[in-house]
Amino acid sequence: MDRRRLAHFFGQAAEWLAVIFYWLQGYRLVAWRWKTPSGEVDALLTRGRWLVALEVKARWRSDGTVPVAPMQLAGIGQSLERFRSKEKRFRRCFCRVDVLTISTNRLPRWIRHAWEEPT
């Protein structure tokens, strides 16, 4: 298997592990790889009154830093707002973006509230 295909497989596996992790925390998956003009959201999950956009970063080696730029988080936040406006059942939910970094040399790093809707 070439490096590119292996990296793609590793990224998909990391996304599945992240969704399972959230499921074990009591979240429910409502959308998977949701595409918008401003980008793709890896997973949209809900628990209680929270609607969460999950960005999963899979790295072979990680130094512990978060590889997500503020502009990217804002774009994911816009996608989340677009999803909420289209789906009536989520209009009253609070929105946030979480980042989960998975690598082969560290424990997963879970960053809750990496972005929240302005109040």
Averaged pLDDT of the chain: 87
Does residue 47 have a pLDDT over 60? Answer: yes
> What is the average pLDDT across 70-81?
87
Q: What is the largest CA-CA distance in the chain?
A: 48
Closest CA to 52 of 95, 99, 109: 95
Q: How confident is the model at residue 104 (pLDDT cuts 50, 70, 90)?
A: confident
CB 23 within 8 A of CB 29: yes
- Of the two residues 26 and 70, the one the predictor is more confident about is 26
Does residue 72 have a pLDDT over 70? Answer: yes
